Structure 1
């Protein structure tokens, strides 16, 4: 069975149309169609089906696409075996991340450029909703995505999912806010407050809905801002609140913004690396994975150190 044909089936499952698959692979739609037709001729059961303009994999097609991942992994392991003899770093590792993760990780990755034993890295920020992160793995070696604890898990049957952070979301407010004197907040404390939240479909807008349900009344959103740094700056200028990540948002001390944990709810977001399984084996990719993990650990430690200094007796 042709590994290329199998890979096309997998890409079709991720992209949903022949045209999108062709664009992702840099080939013509007719070439994709011909290869898929050749693959279909080897099986008596349909591998694909149309739903409007979207082409979906049948159950048989999905099973074959998962098998294609195993084939790709085996080929990648064979390539990695050879890479060990020649250094394995002579390739560019493509990394994408949502904005606040890009601010957190990309500068430190850039600082490693040119150091011995570190590959060339190309960084791109991608502002997408949660469900769109897995499809980005078609274009990038490492996709840094995030999801809240209450949302569906990543599709581990077709992706390697490596944890970077388990990051609480805290309630951000100006230091003069009436709630700033509390060590932690409960949903009932938030009755009557106004909020800066993300666009619908993006976290933590979904978490604010859970807060509202626990409080027994809707939270009034007055601004929708996806960029956390902008949200923090707006919090510093008014009486509005926002849910902000504890470790990956840099808030200048001049903004006089404080963060308070929210009790009684799971307000944790998972910041993970999503990677096609066969790419994990490549040495250059594994070096960048290790670097990202160390950067994450450093940011968590810095946050803990700041909190200890802030609570230490004078």
Structure 2
């Protein structure tokens, strides 16, 4: 039996505010996505939990929607104009050789309904992102990356080169970075639809990538995090370590032994860096000097950390009384 436990945390002085446990049978949480209006948690049973929120606070009552008969593996979105959540649409990817990618939107009654399907991937879709109000990018176990026109419902381009499951994808402007089970990451030019660099060096599957325009970060099952130059494809790396590099010259500013084992998730916001690890820790660091500001939780393993405004959200697993719980925690105020 698996459960989703949602806890809202206020500040170090007044920690516990609210706890909710949602029965999820034996389902596994597969995706976490935050929009301006909603926190979306997807399950491999095809169910999507939707929580309303305001800047990571005022978490509303959950909406539970069965999106698919088979598993959901990724969620993306495009947010509407300021204050109008009806313009928000959601793109969902999942298991299967067909009908594995679809666009959903909110109707006049405030219900989430399927608008149309995107046909083309021949295996499970693992990652999807909205590039604009009319364009989506997706990556699949079929080894391809696809660019979609959602108004016409057609695939505009196919990016090929990986030889195994494309597990992760990130986009910054006209640059996309993909990571694969073939141990390689690739940098793509989304205007010319060509591969700029193949990033080789990892000794195992790549599970996470990030790009900020000049620098790429990749994380692998080989227990290393590598930092790459977008223009040259050169890298530096460390095992179980977080390193911060200056953009000019890519000289190392600082490094810390962030987690006992692999760093599973990491995100930079303002002057802070949040990290999660397979050691079950969530930690917040000062990005100027690498000083540990706070250790927020101890669990079995941390899957993902995300900033939303001045709030930090973490998705993790924790074993309790022979029950494996999937816990989503949110910290707000000053960290």
TM over 0.5: no
TM-score, with length taken from structure 1: 0.24
Q: Which has the higher helix share?
A: 1
Scaled by the length of structure 2, what TM-score is found?
0.23
Between Structure 1 and Structure 2, the one with more strand by share is 2
* Bigger Rg, structure 1 or 2: 1
